[in-house]
Amino acid sequence: MIAESLETQPRSQVPLWTIFTSFLIVGLTAFGMAILQKLKALVLAQRWLSEEEMNDGLAMVQLYPGPIMVDFTAYIGYVLRGVPGALLAAAGFCLPSFILMLILSALYFAAGNLPWVHPLFQGLEALVVGVILNVTLDMGSRAIQGKIEAVITLLAFGGLLLKFDAVLTILMALALGAAFIHPASSKGTPAPQASNPTPASISIRRGLAISVVIIIILGVVALAISLDSEIGHLGLSLFKIGAVAFGNGTTIIPLLQSEVVEKHHWMNLNQFADGVALGQITPGPFLITSTFIGYKIGRIGGALLATFAIFSPSFAMTLIFTEVFARLRNLKIVRGALAGVLAAFTGMLAAALLQIGTVALTVPVAFVLAGAAFLAVRYFKLDILWVFVGGLSIWEGLLALGLV
């Protein structure tokens, strides 16, 4: 609920340029869990939204598929200035990491055959294993609340290892959760509001703007189909993942791996692990790994299509949910479906961790480095950026001494 006591300019007058540049700075400087802290600090400092609205928005973006932080930025922008605000907030947040990942991808694939590249990335992959292990344990503690969730987790774990279709696994988990998991609904929590009460003409304009966004997305889907090429098939795969995958970037790794490595063989597991690592060390959304995958298949054009495909489905859902469906979060069937999906992601993430670990942890020192990264993020609460900077420095020192 919007707090009318906020002493701020009317939201319709928050400049679009200010929205873009503010989220651009967040996208350029925030890593990992610090992203949420920076977003909250920005919005509350500018007195754009109340704390209650921020919390309601965070709850809302977990109701539907897509990367939570990108959808959260779109939610804030939409509350402030409608569809243009959502577009500029999400674009500003994603642009720095997209450009950085383009540069890193070009360097990686240009230098991939140099003898010093693989040992360096082996250290980076070991650090990723430690970080993802922490995420997996955190997810498991939240998602596995009973026997049904545990069964779904185990089925998803085995399904990914046996190369069962990952998207079908998620849909089955959603159905099982809706049918058999009945979490208590939260009472008395207001749903997110799109904006202050607005004239009907403004609501109509917003509805038309949302329709235009959906038409553009469907147009790009049609373009990907018409290409009938590896780039087009990649775009369709990422559109599919973006439309069904819940959670943050880390939880969506298993679906990416299933499509990119196991099903289509667009890159090997080492390359995929390196892309995941680069996604960790760049600021902004973790799913910018999709840019790396797209660059591998189709250079800049492939990177643009892949990035658009992974983020756009949930962007459209954010606009729709903010206007219409936010109150659904208190329905038991919705909460049960979400619980089933999160349990499945826990199992799939554990399977992906096992597979990445088999290619990353090939020497004893790599196990030590992965363990150190795990301890650093779980118990010492170090920022992921410093974990990677410190870990790579140690790894390079070991390489120089010939201990790896």
Model confidence pLDDT, tens digit, residues 119-172: 777 887 888 888 889 878 987 888 888 899 999 999 999 988 888 877 788 788
Closest by CA position to 165, among listed 178, 156, 177: 156
SS3 category, 150: helix
Where do runs of H (alpha helix) occur along 361-400?
Answer: 364-378, 384-400
Cα–Cα distance measured from residue 207 to residue 222, given in angstroms and rounded to the nearest whole number: 22
Cα–Cα distance measured from residue 341 to residue 176, given in angstroms and rounded to the nearest whole number: 9
Does residue 191 surpass a pLDDT of 50? no
Report pLDDT for 356: 82
Range in 246-250, 257-261, 320-324, 347-351 the model is least confident about: 246-250
The Cα diameter of the chain in Å comes to 70
Report pLDDT for 367: 93
Name residue 210's amino acid: I
- When pLDDT is cut at 50, 70 and 90, the band that residue 190 belongs to is very low
pLDDT per position as a tens digit, 87-101: 999 999 999 999 999
Structure token digits, residue 88: 């500029």
Predicted model pTM: 0.74
How much is the average pLDDT of 266-292?
A: 86
Cα–Cα distance measured from residue 82 to residue 88, given in angstroms and rounded to the nearest whole number: 10
**Quick one: DSSP state of residue 148?**
H
Report pLDDT for 185: 55
